[in-house]
Amino acid sequence: MKKNRNKRILKKFDSKNREKKKRGGKVYTGVFSASRDGYGFITADPDQGDFTADVFVPARFVKDAVSGDRVRFTTETHDGKLEAHVTSVAARSTVTFTGTYRYISRREGNRLTVKHLVIPDDKKLSFDTLISPKHLSGAVDGDKVLCEIVTYPDTTNQKPAYGNIIRTYGSAEELYPNVFAALDGAGIRTRFPDEVTAEAETLSKRRVLKRDRLDLREEKIFTIDGAGSKDMDDAISVKRKGDGFELGVHIADVSEYVKHGSLLDDEAFLRGTSVYFADRVIPMLPQSLSNGACSLNPGVGRYTLSAFIDVDRSGEITGCTVRETVIRSRVRGVYSEVNDVIENGEKSRFYKKYKPVFENGGLEDLISLYEVLDSKSRRRHALQLDSAETGFTVAPDGTVTDAFIEERGVSERMIEQFMLAANEGVATLLKGRGLPCVYRIHEAPDPEKIKSLRSFAESIGVDASALDRDEITLQATEKFLEAARDAGKGEVMSYMVLRCMMKARYESTQSPHYGLGAECYCHFTSPIRRYPDLVVHRIIKTLLLHGENDRERALRSYTQKAAERSTECEDTATKLERDMDSLYMAAYMKDKIGSVHDAVITGVTQYGFFARIGCGAEGFVRLGAVNVEFIPSIYALITPKKTYRMGDPVTVRVTDVSLPDRRIDFELVRD
């Protein structure tokens, strides 16, 4: 009895000493990330000392921190390993979240236990939240909901999270409740404030006048976009100039309507970008501007900012000028129609529509300019990745009736080259004049990732000698991809190269764009849907064209703020668009359980692999961990019967589909 009492005293004394040591130690700050098992890790802020890696946080020292929270913490060495102890939460990252409401009742003997809880969609939130019956907001079991956290989970004191349901979307087994929940979960602003809408509608009614602008309304200017596009912000014209070309890229002058510091501008800054997926668009600007006054619709006058790019016969840009203009688009072009005209000429059923802009050598000039620009890109070894984008056909009732890999024809690639030339020309012009700009930069790949890629490529018989150097050039990358294509592994190696790439971002300081092989690059061509383009337009008009030098300091300061916000919004939109693709694909595949498909392995994990079938659907094949060896360095799973690697063909059967989890499960048909 006395021995046990002494143990309790020593335990209490040790606990007090540990607590005293924590309180007296240095306090650091960082961002916390939790696991489903209660423990977590902290990524210390860059100025917080010599932390070489994330610091482990035992479950008993997590307190009430959840993933994404900015926390204060102390450190101790325990059993020779550094561990962090959360002292407090400095800032919450999550106040509301989306998830699935579940009603759970269990009978244990004569006792009935009832629970109302919400399971988060975000897997980083490693806890379920209990809901009081009076705060269900009409939700029924299986509904997709928006939940507000009232009390955060406390792993140190083993207390659960409590919350209130503040919005109910509908059944989690239906498409649109998941769509609306995903938008809210990503923090996307889906409704414009009334005062912003009113401001846009007033401005959209203004007459388009020539004023002091260059009048191009009689020129052969036209747009080419997707069939469903409504926000057309770029039009083109091409003229022969000596043995080269003058490319005219005429961009909607959104800055004529959206003035810096206006309500419209504040809202556009917060949104940063339009979001596109499957059957809808969440625009950066109200529709009265994005689809109306700013959209370069055919047959009507529109304010534009026109870049005239001189291109020599080798595709090099020899000059760029920008003017404020007014245009009248002759034709509302559609990619698929233009591709048909390019292929069939006057025999195309669409030729009559395009005759006003394609006759008298107009089409030949377009194609010739495209070819010299494309040739220049290839000389630069600009990345040519065999990547595929998925498209969907959605019926009016929300049924996803088809999923397919979108193909890019000549007209899509042509417009891409024209926009690249305009963006490069404008960025070079601003840089040369010493003016501020929101640049688009892209850094070289991570050397460690390239090293891993090289090992994997060699393991599947692809010549990776081009990557065997300290600095990976675009020429080396292209040579490697050619070797991969020759070995029949072009698609998987393109995917792997993409994974090695750094993310492109916006900056106020010029730096090369690795993927394009461009020394100086910005985004100028899409101000209806991208905020950085709008800022570039303001800089051009204010400083380059109007010479309002007294505003340069303010604009130069604003470019960095705009760059940071635009990058943040782009990252959010990109992730959401990927999630939406997964969601719509799950909706398409949900009635195809039992169907058998040829597939290609696209990813390998410890417990199985991902595989993609012809329509673009990607599912997981679970192999388990028994008699399976996972070799991450070469992305391989070795079983007693077979070795599975990325890029290998397999045959799979669809076994399960979950809309709430955006998940598709496969099984191997034959091994």
Q: Do 219 and 326 sit in the same domain of this protein?
A: yes
pLDDT per residue as tens digits for the range 553-569 = 999 999 999 999 999 99
Whether residue 495 is found in the same domain as residue 506: no
Residue 180 lies in a domain: no
Q: Tell whether 540 and 400 lie within a shared domain.
A: yes
Residue 268's nearest CA partner among 206, 203, 317 is 203
More confident: 303 or 603 = 303
Q: Do 463 and 600 fall into the same domain?
A: no
- Whether residue 253 is predicted with pLDDT greater than 90 in this model: the reply is yes
573's CB contacts (< 8 A; 6+ apart) are: 188, 272, 273, 274, 275
pLDDT at 10: 45
Give the range of the structural domain holding residue 22, as residue numbers without chain letter.
2-91
Residue 189 lies in a domain: no
* Conformation bin of residue 360: beta by default, left when phi > 0, alpha when psi is -120 to 50: left
Q: What mean pLDDT do residues 94-122 have?
A: 88
Mean pLDDT confidence for 150-172:
92
Which residues partner with 44 through β-bridges? Answer: 30
Assess whether 324 and 348 both reside in one domain: yes
- Residue 588 neighbours by CB under 8 Å, 6+ apart: 392, 400, 401, 402, 403, 615, 617
**Same domain as 506, residue 492:** no
Regarding whether 399 and 347 lie in a shared domain, the answer is yes
457/400 same-domain check: no
Final residue of a structural domain among 477, 500, 523: 500
In the predicted model, is pLDDT for residue 17 greater than 70?
no
Do the domain assignments include residue 183?
A: no
Same domain, 553 and 632: no
Looking at residue 599, which CATH number applies to its domain? 2.40.50.140
pLDDT band with cut points at 50, 70 and 90 for residue 78: confident
The answer on 507 and 496 residing in a single domain is no
pLDDT band at 632 (very low <50, low <70, confident <90, very high): confident
The answer as to whether 182 is a domain residue is: no
d(CA 86, CA 72): 6
**Strands, DSSP E only, in 79-176?**
81-91, 96-108, 111-120, 129-131, 143-151, 161-171
Asked whether residue 251 is domain-assigned, the answer is yes
More confident residue, 88 or 455: 88
Flag whether pLDDT at 13 surpasses 60: no
User: What's the number of domains the chain is made of?
Assistant: 5
pLDDT at position 211, please?
85
Look at residue 669 in the predicted model and tell me its pLDDT. 93
Q: Is it the case that residue 600 has pLDDT exceeding 70?
A: yes
Q: Is residue 181 in a domain?
A: no
Average pLDDT over residues 152-175: 93
Chosen domain end from 62, 91, 120: 91
83 and 42 assigned to the same domain: yes
Any domain includes 187: no
Does residue 432 form part of some domain?
yes
Assess whether 215 and 263 both reside in one domain: yes
Q: Is the pLDDT of residue 24 over 90?
A: no
Distance CA 580, CA 179 (A): 7
Banded model confidence at residue 628, pLDDT cuts 50, 70, 90 = confident
Among 581, 614, 648, the domain boundary falls at 581
The string of pLDDT tens digits covering residues 474-532 is 888 888 988 988 888 888 888 888 888 889 999 999 999 999 999 999 999 999 999 99
Average pLDDT over residues 93-102: 94
